[in-house]
Amino acid sequence: MDRIEQLRKFIAAQPDEPFARYALALELKSKGDNAGAADEMRELLNRKPDYLAAYLQLGMLEQALGRIDAARETLRKGQDLARTKGDTHTLSELTSALEAL
């Protein structure tokens, strides 16, 4: 059984567990499936909107898919959450990504 299949089985058993979905998205991204990875990141944020790391990854995936306006919106939402959480490191990463668009 490959890693993607294992992660999908874990998600089927525990759909609200955020790390497995995040890991699946990264695995899909590493295989070149940016659209599938973005779908998983969106689902993750639908289920757990405070999962801060997903905003940067989703923003980068949306950029790679040519969805620049969506990428900006995602990164800005991430910035807002990072400010609320007081996470200056992630805020800096999100800001850099946004400025690079």
User: Mean of the pLDDT values across residues 6-24?
Assistant: 95
Q: What gap in Å lies between CA 69 and CA 15, rounded to an integer?
A: 29
Q: What domains can you pick out in the chain, each with its CATH number? A: 3-100 (1.25.40.10)
Tens-digit pLDDT profile for residues 31-58: 999 999 999 999 999 999 999 999 999 9
Question: Other CB atoms closer than 10 Å to residue 73's CB: what's the count?
Answer: 13
Q: What gap in Å lies between CA 36 and CA 34, rounded to an integer?
A: 5
Tens-digit pLDDT profile for residues 63-99: 999 999 999 999 999 999 999 999 999 999 999 999 9
Task: Give the C-alpha distances (Å, rounded to integers) separating 47 from 43, 73, 93.
Answer: 6, 18, 23
Record the pTM.
0.92
Q: What gap in Å lies between CA 36 and CA 96, rounded to an integer?
A: 25
